[in-house]
């Protein structure tokens, strides 16, 4: 089974994904790291040299290659669901889990690491918070299309696994 973790950058998808994959004894794929490996460049370099449009197209292509991994937990980038019908593709090819974090919590997490994130590197404090608020407003309608929606505080690997088992039981009854 493929599990796609979606949510805003800084919501902990990669950390959670690693722990969930260990619990499930399946492989873990960090989509951004996979893109960096395939491109031979960091995400920051790809954005700087080729732009966001190139990155988003590459991201969609690399995402679709995860179909080869029958059993994996895949942590997606924060914008992944928003381009090239990626959210629909993930829903059609696995179980999607939205890790939901409040804007204030995201701000505190991202303010510390903005230099490592191409969309945030040049933003001051007020601009960062505005970016988070406007981006969440734009992205949330896609995020909530996930099969499971979990607040960050309750998104533990064991809780996610139990919710996935519940989903599978309900789908067998239909």
In SS3 terms, 84-119 reads as CCHHHHHHHHCEEEEEECCHHHHHHHHHCCHHHCCC
Sorted by sequence, the CB contacts under 8 Å of residue 136 that are 6+ apart come out as 8, 103, 106
Q: Which domains does the chain have, with CATH numbers?
A: 2-149 (3.40.50.300)
Sort strands 95-100 and 72-75 into parallel, antiparallel or unpaired. Answer: unpaired
Q: How many CB atoms lie within 10 A of CB 161?
A: 14
Q: What is the pLDDT of residues 29-83, one digit of tens each?
A: 999 999 999 999 999 899 999 999 999 999 999 999 999 999 999 999 999 999 9
Sort strands 2-6 and 27-30 into parallel, antiparallel or unpaired. Answer: unpaired
Residue of 160, 163, 164 whose CA lies nearest to 12: 160
Q: Is the pLDDT of residue 170 over 70?
A: no
Q: What is the pLDDT of residues 128-154, one digit of tens each?
A: 999 999 999 999 999 999 999 999 887
Query: What single-letter DSSP state applies at residue 147?
Result: S
Q: What is the pLDDT of residues 52-65, one digit of tens each?
A: 999 999 999 999 99
What is the value of pTM for the model shown?
0.92
Sorted by sequence, the CB contacts under 8 Å of residue 169 that are 6+ apart come out as none
pLDDT value for 152: 83
- Backbone angles phi and psi of 23, in degrees to 5: -60, -40
CA distance between the termini of the chain: 19
């Amino acid at each position: 089974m493929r599990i796609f973790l979606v949510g805003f950058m800084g919501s902990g998808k990669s950390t959670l994904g690693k722990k969930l994959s260990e619990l499930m004894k399946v492989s873990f794929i960090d989509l951004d790291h996979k893109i960096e490996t395939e491109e031979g460049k960091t995400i920051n370099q790809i954005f700087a040299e080729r732009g966001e449009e190139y990155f988003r197209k590459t991201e969609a292509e690399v995402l679709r290659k995860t179909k080869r991994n029958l059993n994996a937990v895949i942590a997606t980038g924060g914008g992944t669901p928003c381009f090239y019908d990626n959210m629909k593709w993930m829903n059609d090819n696995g179980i999607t889990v939205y890790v939901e974090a409040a804007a204030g919590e995201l701000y505190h997490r991202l303010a510390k690491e903005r230099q490592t994130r191409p969309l945030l590197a040049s933003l001051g404090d007020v601009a960062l918070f505005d970016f988070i608020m406007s981006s969440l407003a734009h992205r949330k309608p896609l995020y909530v299309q996930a099969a499971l929606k979990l607040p960050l505080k309750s998104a533990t690997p064991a809780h996610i696994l139990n919710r996935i088992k519940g989903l599978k039981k309900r789908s067998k009854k239909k």
